[in-house]
Amino acid sequence: MSQIKKKNQEFVDVNQPVDSTLPNQNFGYWKSLKDISSSEDYDKFLKQSDHNEDTNISRRNFMSLIAASVALAGLEGCKKPVQKIIPYVEAKRNTIPGIPKYYSTTMPFKNNAFGLVVENHDGRPIKIEGNALHSITGGKSNVYVQSSTLNMYDPDRARGVKLKGKKIEWTKYLESIQSLKDNVDSKVAILSGESSSLSVKKIKKDFLKKFPNSSWTIYEPISNENVLLGIEAAFGKKYQPIYNFDKAQIVLSVGSDFLGVDDNSIYNTRTFSSKRNLENENSEMNRLYVAESSMSVTGSSADHRLNIRASEYHNLLVELAHELKQLGMKIEVNAKKSTNNLWIKTVAEDLYVNRKKCIVIGGDSLGAESHELIATINFLLGSNIDYYPSENTSSISDLQVLCKKIKNKEVDTLFILGANPVYDAPADLDFGNLIDLVPNTVHLSNYYDETSKKCDWHIAESHYLETWGDACSIDGYLSIIQPQIQPLFNSKNLINVLSLLVYGEDISSYEFVKNNWKEILASSNFNRSWEKVLHDGFYAKQYVSPVKISRKSSKSYSSQNVQNQDSFELVFTPSPTVYDGRFSNNGWLQELPKPISHLTWDNAAFISLKLAKELKVRNGQLLRIKSSDSIIEIPVWILPGQNSKTITVELGYGREFSGRIGSGVGFNVYPLRKTDTMHLISGIEMEVLNKNYPLAGTQDHYGLEEDHKAAPGFSSLSSDAIQSRIPEIVKQTTLDEYKKHPDFVIDAVKEHLPDKKRSLADHSMYNPEKEYDYSKGPQWGMSIDLTSCTGCNACSIACQSENNIPVVGKQQVMNGREMHWIRIDNYFSGDPDNPEVSTQSVACVHCELAPCEQVCPVAATTHSTDGVNQMTYNRCLGTRYCANNCPYKVRKFNFYNYTRDLPEVVQMAMNPDVSVRFRGVMEKCTYCYQRVTEARITANKENRDIIDGEIKVACQQSCPADAIKFGDINDPNSEVSKAKKRNRDYALLGQLGTSPRTTYLAKIRNQNPKLVSSHSTKGHH
Amino acid sequence: MQKSDYKSRALVNAEQLLPGNQTFTSITNDIAGVPEQKKTPIQWWLLFGLALSLLGVFAGSLGYLIWEGTGIWGINMPVAWGWAIINFVWWVGIGHAGTLISAILHLFRQNWRNAINRFAETMTLFAVICALVFPGIHIGRIWVAYWFFPLPNQMGMWPNFRSPLIWDFFAVFTYFTVSLLFWYTGLIPDLATLRDRAKTSLRKKVYGFFALGWRGGNRQWQHYELAYLVLAGISTPLVLSVHSVVSSDFATSVIPGWHTTIFPPYFVAGAIYSGFGMVMTLSIIARKVYNLGHIITLEHLDKMAQIMLLTGCMVGYAYAMEFFVAWYSGNPYESFAFVNRALGPYWWGYWAMIFCNVVVPQFFWFTKYRRHIPFLFITSILVNIGMWFERFVIVVITLHRDFLPGAWAMYSPTIWDVAIYLGTFGLFFTGFLLFLRFLPMVSIAEAKLVLPESNPHHGDDH
């Protein structure tokens, strides 16, 4: 005993920080154990475990003490949740090391809630999947969900409590609240982000009741406030719309990226893609029209896309209403005809014919008036939209009121809970300076960020995986957030921070949430219902139901005067990776090639090819953008499909905080954003600077741009080659052509077969059929549907999380060494201003006759008997020959030891089922073989075959479009076999005879014959 | 008729190849005099200093490479092979001239080779050493490079004999071994000469040890000539096989631009071409530094230039044929690979290759240029620049744009790529200068063979 105690004391001494007042980033998480569990933690742990005073050790105590020491030394499982949580999938009584447990929880995202299942290895949440039972996620996820584990294991997160930058005890904070809590006249203001939590709503209600002079403001830099205001104008009240794309035949999106960056993108993509899952040529398929100024994920999935200025969205809608009126819709409208009349008229006809089976959706950047018109059109068309009561939503006007109050010194104490207004509030409010006028400020946030520096108190905020809470999805289902691990960094949540103030006592969030739910569940046997909710992750009864709406007034809508056709406008858009900046310290997200632009580690001013030629700029050249008194400098990035008069910039970059990943990455564009120009600035001034900034894009060639480095006079050489390859690589046609020639894919592939009598394998010197019997046992294969794939990137980041794929940094990406196992290729064809996009996700296709296997000098890449091309990392000596000989170029090489310097906290995020690769070895997609093996072991133990659907590979599991199917191709009834039997099935580069196991389903565009012009390029043969 | 022709040709040969009244003694004095010099020429020291500093660059950059990993180079995905493989192929290619000169020309009784064969063989040895460096260091985990060897082990892990890299490994190692034996065998009589002339006991012992007790007796010469002939016979197929195997690294792949059957002969021709370029460069320097103009004569240079013209035309034909076949195949990927070489972003590399390898040697149709030493010197260097670019074209330009445009990327080398390449020159020249200093750079015994005295028949009919 004394020995152990001595050892423990030594440990504490050795790891004692020299100066405990040092800021967090100097805590040295890189180097040693102390970083993960500070000495205070450890002391506390020793006290908690109560063993030190226990001189009379029982066997049980001794074992647990040893276990604790070992666990702490190994940094594994040292922080298990204290409260009881119920396993989601398998209810085992004892933890078996190495066997993960699955728990349900919820990721709150603004006003929405994503129901999740977390794979928990020995007390560490490792991998997140959607909860198949949850109404929003339905088992699927997006990039924010997938990357959120890394957010928690972020060594740069704030920790503990700070007063004016110095570390201080949590109890000191509670003491400081004591005086405040008794003075009900105190002028307290709270500023928070959106939250759907019932507990937060209850605190808010009680807080406002207790302190009548106080206020609670909600602000989100990216919000759908205009949508709600428009709906309020149309229907009299703010309602949250839920779009049921699974019922809509025709969808028109005006500036909305509902499949890409949207609070509800998982649900949208799920429902939208369910109408694109074509069994054969007779299947029904929806049609998507998109009018937008910058190519988005939604625009790239469109059947017809119209490239218009963002400032013309309103007039387009008015013109649409006018055309609908012509067709018989009862709406008062006064429209001017535009040059896009044919397009609008066709859309109107399509919508009108498909009444009650259509949706018109507008983007957040449209004004309230436009949304009012959209709501009216939707109402009159009987669109498939449900409206849910909406409260506690972000409001700019409320924020303005708060700022006014601060200016008038009407706020004594300001709590900023989870928000970062110094960075992201509208620039004209000058929040950074206003905040100094408040005598006492408290900031709760997960990073010591721009706002924290300005506040007196700073409290580290718990990640949703570390804390108890609840949330409500926008379609009215309540769910529970249950912790997967104890807070890593002494962090607190909103309930902890406010409970003493509001209720006079420090209530644990567990008790608070549970007590709240007693009212909701209101069941005779609360504990049982509560456990069921914990098990399922949500409450199966809808808490809020959709409302019946009615039109408030029959207002007349008319076109607006667009000022100055020649002036340039600037559109703000959330970043598809770091969103509004909240995820900027997440390496997975920073390095994720953004959809369409394939840019990593930066934002840029997206400009059109035409404008680039006009301004004579190239990618990376700096542009100075001026709007009234604000100026930013930002590099340009040329994007096909961008409107020539619209410059699009992504929010969320140029952060100044102590994050080693996100600090200083990209360019802060918030300084241009004012309360009246939250989405769009018209009439900006631009100046091209003679300076360059290196940008890291992962795809050099889209297929439309000129190749400046080619021999003089041959700048179109590569684009021409790409254009000729697109129909070959991404086989595609229109729905009408598909109906006429259902076998177009098969016919095209036939041309490439070397000899019709013999199989491809006969042409190889190395006939795999002689070596392996592929007709026996499960043989794994995959099918990817290019029609339903939107290119949202969820698969790529799910793969990164599952397979411990390292982040290599901007410089390495610029050198072409990004490690993603799944690459999403985009090809553009047709009109550079409004191209057709062909999106294709490419990972290792597991060729049966793999070219990589033949050339490896040491047989480090070989075939398994179940048809998987495997990498033996510890045999690989890194000649890279396999990568050269891979026709798909999907192999990734560890040029450096990317994982050696991983902070220990980040090491905790690694999946223990997958090797962490070292320097000098090749890696690539394994078909998530660890999952295959796990299923095989389970099946063997139960003496049965693996059931179809038992194995879901990470990309398949995350894909909200359900475009990826995986399974046994020898089983004729498996999902994948059925997919491969469809007449759209083809092998990418099949003519090489490598017999890939991953095949693609050709892309079908449901084009309206009325809009198909002769010059438009079609991929059919 | 024929005999008198033979005789007169021998005399003419002797006059052309060894002008002036050369005797056995004068040849021995001239050649053996160089390693026996008491005072090392200042030019040698200058060159040796330069070579040593380059060797230092090599050691430094190699150390950094081993420490950090191959990430210090410019390679990426898709261009996973860069300068390392270019340099490997380039150095192996250079080696080929040595073997060709010593073995094939020996079998064909081309006595004019006798002035340059030692030179060429030594060049082969050091070039192959330089080449062998690269497969070892270009891999990701240098510390397990021995896995290339088929070493028996308890896990039964064996190399993959289907991999051309393994063929390559065996081919180059065999080549190195045979070249070393061949070079050493040729040296034995000369080492004995140096031993016999040695003034110090150390020289006597060292040269004596390596001379293997050579006495120059009739039987010894008889065995020696036979052994040399056999080794020449073994080496001859290697001239053709080594670079053919190296070319199969590319030719057996599926990548458009690599997957082509023309590679083996084309690589062999290119190898001989670059090898002669290098021999030319080195011999011009050596005859200048050591005043050996009467031993390595214009006639030798002229003959080498003729071979360069021949092999230059062969590679030129191969370049043209590649394009023709790419077009004739009707395979769009194949066609693009070649068009992209000539007109894509690395077009300058392609045209540098064409200029150096195809245009420049055309001057050798004219005797004037074949015997113009400054012109020959510049040309020989240009040829090797061109041959380096040929490998750049094959390795980099092919890989940077293959099948799927989504994976296309550009490649640019880093300072470390350059440093290691320059470093191998340090390795090469350090070795070569040491050879010049301590061993006879021209085969004494064989140089005498062209003298009329070597032909003891004197008009007799037997």
Name the residue in chain B with its Cα closest to that of A893.
Answer: B77
Q: Phi first, then psi: what are they for B395, rounded to 5°?
A: -80, -60
A727 or A761, which is more confident: A727
CB contact under 8 A, B404 and A707: no
Q: Are residues A805 and A739 in the same domain?
A: yes
pLDDT on residue B72: 92
Cross-chain Cβ contact B140/A724 below 8 Å? no
Minimum CA–CA partner of B78 in chain A: A889
CA angle (A513 as vertex; A508, A518 as ends), nearest 5: 130
Other C-beta atoms lying within 10 Å of the C-beta of residue B366: 11
CB proximity A439 to B under 8 Å: no
Residue A859 placed within a domain: yes
8 A C-beta contact, residue A829 and residue A703: yes
B329 chain-A contacts, CB cut-off 8 A: none
A142-156 mean pLDDT: 91
pLDDT digits (tens, 9 = 90+) for A735-783: 988 999 888 888 887 766 655 555 555 666 666 556 677 888 889 999 9
Which H or E run includes B64?
Answer: helix B42-68
Beta bridge partners of A967: A781
Q: What's the confidence (pLDDT) of residue A114?
A: 92
Q: What is the ipTM of this complex?
A: 0.89
The owner of tokens 């008491």 is: B38
pLDDT of residue A338: 84
pLDDT at residue B346, as a whole number: 93
- Phi and psi at A996, nearest 5°, equal -65, 145
A465 within 8 A of A149, measured Cβ to Cβ: yes
Per-residue pLDDT band for B108 (boundaries 50, 70, 90) equals: confident
- Separation between Cα atoms, residue B282 and residue A551, nearest integer Å: 94
Per DSSP, the residues of A913-959 read TSPPP-TT-EE---SSHHHHHHHHHHHHHTTSPPPTTS---HHHHH-
Average pLDDT of the segment spanning A422-428: 90
Q: What is the CATH number of the domain that holds A457?
A: 3.40.50.740
Query: What pLDDT score does A21 carry?
Result: 38
Q: Give the model's pLDDT for residue A711.
A: 85
Contacts of A198 (CB under 8 A, 6+ apart): A470, A472, A478, A516, A520
CA distance from start to end of chain A: 79
Cβ burial A113-138 (10 Å sphere, 16+ → b, else e): bbbbbbbbbbbbbbbbbbbebbbbbb
User: What three-state secondary structure class fits A124?
Assistant: strand
Q: Which amino acid is at A327?
A: L
Please write the tens of the pLDDT for every residue from A598-644: 999 999 999 998 898 888 898 899 999 998 888 999 999 999 889 99
Confidence grade of residue B430 (pLDDT, cut at 50, 70, 90): very high
As a whole number of angstroms, the distance between CA A539 and CA A407 comes to 44
Query: Same domain, yes or no, for A880 and A1006?
Result: yes
Rounded CA-CA distance B129/B143 in Å is 19
Write out residues 710-739 of A within 8 Å (CB-CB) of B: 710-711, 714, 717-718, 721-722, 724-725, 729
Among A607, A595, A611, A592, residue whose Cα is nearest residue A639: A607
Return the amino acid letter for A730: V
Q: How many domains does chain A have?
A: 5
Q: For the purposes of burial, counting CB atoms within 10 Å of the CB of B356, is it exposed (0-12), middle (13-18) or buried (19 or more)?
A: buried
Residue A899 lies in a domain: yes
Look at residue B432 and give its three-state secondary structure. helix
Q: What pLDDT band is residue A62 in, cutting at 50, 70 and 90?
A: very low
> Lowest mean pLDDT: which of A72-81, A697-706, B105-114, B328-337?
A72-81
A564 assigned to some structural domain: no
Q: Average pLDDT of A699-722?
A: 82
| CB of A451 less than 8 A from some CB of B | no
**Best CA proximity match to A692, nearest among A618, A632, A626, A624:** A618
Candidates A714, A895, A896, partner chain B, best to mutate (most B CBs within 10 A): A895
Give me the percent of chain B exceeding a pLDDT of 90. 36
pLDDT at A769: 58
* Average of per-residue pLDDT across B347-372: 92
The average confidence (pLDDT) of chain A is: 83
User: Do the beta carbons of residue A893 and residue A798 sit within 8 Å?
Assistant: no
Kindly state whether residues A229 and A204 are assigned to the same domain.
no
Residue A533 within any structural domain of the chain: no
Q: Does residue B105 carry a pLDDT above 60?
A: yes
Contact of B315 with B357, CB cutoff 8 Å: yes
Among residues A57, A74, A91, which one ends one of the domains? A74
**What does CATH list as the number for B43-177+238-445?**
1.20.1630.10
In this structure, is residue A527 part of a structural domain? no
* Stretch (H or E) spanning B320: helix B298-329
Name which residue leads in pLDDT, B309 or A488.
B309
| Mean pLDDT, rounded, for B87-96 | 89
Q: Which of A682-686, A767-771, A890-894 has the weakest average pLDDT?
A: A767-771
Q: What's the mean pLDDT in A983-990?
A: 89
Average pLDDT, integer, range A353-381: 90
Same domain assignment for residues A198 and A236:
no
Last residue of a domain, one of A74, A102, A124: A74
Model confidence at A74, in pLDDT bands (50, 70, 90)? Answer: very low
User: How many angstroms separate the CA of residue B255 from the nearest CA in chain A?
Assistant: 6
Co-location of A851 and A999 in the same domain: yes
CA–CA distance, A295 with A828 (Å, rounded to integer): 11
A24 pLDDT higher than 60: no
Residue A37 predicted with pLDDT over 50: no
Q: For residues A163-170, give the mean pLDDT.
A: 87
Of all residues in chain A, the one with the smallest CA distance to B162 is A854
Report the 10 Å Cβ neighbour count for A399: 22
- A957 belongs to a structural domain: yes
Instruction: Give the whole-angstrom CA distance, residue B224 versus residue B394.
Output: 42
The answer, yes or no, to whether residue B8 has pLDDT greater than 70, is no
Residue A153 or residue A17, greater confidence: A153
Q: Are residues A753 and A899 in the same domain?
A: yes
**Which tens digits make up the pLDDT trace of B240-266?**
888 899 899 999 999 999 998 899 998
Report yes or no: A798 and A954 within 8 Å, Cβ to Cβ: yes
Q: Are residues A686 and A590 in the same domain?
A: yes
Q: Which residues have a Cβ under 8 Å from the Cβ of A334 and sit 6 or more positions away?
A: A318, A322, A556, A557, A558, A559
pLDDT band at A95 (very low <50, low <70, confident <90, very high): low
Percent residues over pLDDT 90 in chain A: 33
A780: alpha, beta or left, given left = phi > 0 and alpha = psi -120 to 50? beta
- Give the residue on A whose Cα is nearest the Cα of B403: A887
B151 to chain A: closest CA residue: A858
pLDDT bin (cut points 50, 70, 90) of residue B73 is very high
Q: How large is the average pLDDT for residues B170-186?
A: 89
Residues of B within 8 A of A883 (CB-CB) are: 77-78, 80
Distance CA(B139)–CA(A389), nearest Å, equals 62
Q: How many CA atoms lie within 13 A of B133 on its CB side?
A: 27
- Asked, for residue A475, whether it belongs to a domain, the answer is no
Q: What is the pLDDT of residue A797?
A: 93
Handedness of CA B355, B361, B366, B368 (dihedral sign): positive
Confidence band for B455, pLDDT divided at 50, 70 and 90? low
Per-residue pLDDT for B216 more than 90?
Answer: no
pLDDT above 80: residue A475: yes
Geometric angle at alpha carbon A711, from B375 and B266, rounded to 5° = 55
Residue A850 structural domain:
717-1010
Q: Please, which residues have CB within 8 angstroms of residue A396's CB and are 6 or more apart in sequence?
A: A219, A225, A426, A675, A678
End position of a domain, from candidates A74, A105, A125: A74
> Please, what is the Cα angle at A116 between A114 and A122, to 5 degrees?
145
CB contact under 8 A, A896 and B69: yes
Q: CA-CA distance, A757 to A760, in Å (whole number)?
A: 10
Q: Is the dihedral of CA A96, A98, A101, A105 positive or negative?
A: positive
Identify which of A717, A825, A842 has the shortest CB distance to residue B340.
Answer: A717
**Is residue B13 scored above 80 in pLDDT?**
no
- Given this model, what pLDDT does residue B194 score? 87
Instruction: Identify the pLDDT of residue A521.
Output: 84
Q: What number is the average pLDDT over the span B144-162? A: 87
Which pLDDT value is given to residue A966?
93
Give the closest-approach CA distance of B439 to chain A in angstroms: 38
Instruction: Pick the range with the lowest mean pLDDT from A8-12, A268-272, B117-121, B442-446.
Output: A8-12
H-run or E-run covering A216? strand A215-218
Least confident window among A95-99, A931-935, A941-945, A958-962: A95-99
In tens, the pLDDT along A394-419 reads: 888 899 999 998 988 888 889 999 88
Mean of pLDDT over chain B: 85
Q: What is the CATH number of the domain that holds A329?
A: 3.40.228.10
Is residue A323 domain-shared with residue A429, that is, in the same domain?
no
- Provide the sign of the torsion angle of the four alpha carbons A555, A556, A558, A560, taken in this order: negative
Instruction: Give the mean model confidence (pLDDT) for residues A179-195.
Output: 85
Lowest mean pLDDT among A75-84, A104-113, A445-454, B288-297: A75-84
Least confident of A13-17, A371-375, A635-639: A13-17
H/E segment holding residue A168: strand A166-168
Q: How many CB atoms lie within 10 A of CB B202?
A: 9
Distance CA A672, CA A653 (A): 13
**Tokens read off for B384:** 């090797």
A195 and A231: one domain? no
Q: Is residue B402 helix, strand or coil?
A: coil
For strand A605-607 and strand A861-863, is the pairing parallel, antiparallel, or unpaired? unpaired
Helix (H, G, I), strand (E, B) or coil at A698: coil
Residues A426 and A674 sit within 8 Å (Cβ to Cβ): yes
CA dihedral A55, A61, A62, A66 (to 10 degrees): -120
List of residues 6+ apart from A924 with CB closer than 8 A: A821, A843, A844, A871, A890, A891, A892
Q: Which residues of A738-766 are buried (b: 16+ CB within 10 A; e: fewer)?
A: beebeebbeebbeeeeeeeeeebbeebee
The pTM assigned to this predicted structure is 0.86
CA distance A743 to A982: 10
A29 part of a folded domain:
yes
A595 with A297: CB under 8 angstroms?
Answer: yes
Find the distance separating the first CA and the last CA of chain B, reported in whole Å.
15
- For residues A293 and A329, membership in a common domain is answered with yes
Instruction: Answer whether residue A963 shows pLDDT above 70.
Output: yes
Cβ distance B406 to A827 less than 8 Å, yes or no, reads yes
Residues from chain B that touch A707, judged by Cβ atoms under 8 A, are 344-345
More confident residue, B42 or B398: B398
Residues A641 and A581 in one domain: yes
User: In this structure, are residues A738 and A1012 in contact, taking their beta carbons and an 8 Å threshold?
Assistant: no
Residue A14 has a pLDDT of: 42
- Is residue A90 predicted with pLDDT exceeding 90? no
Which amino acid, B14? A
- Percent of chain A past pLDDT 70, that is, above it, reads 87
| Alpha carbon distance A175, A180 (integer Å) | 9
- DSSP states of A646-658 as a string? EEEEESS-SB-SS
Residue that the structure tokens 């100075």 belong to: A624
Contacts of A997 (CB under 8 A, 6+ apart): A779, A780, A781, A782, A845, A846, A847, A848, A867, A868, A969
Helix axes B83-99 and B218-251, enclosed angle (nearest 10): 150
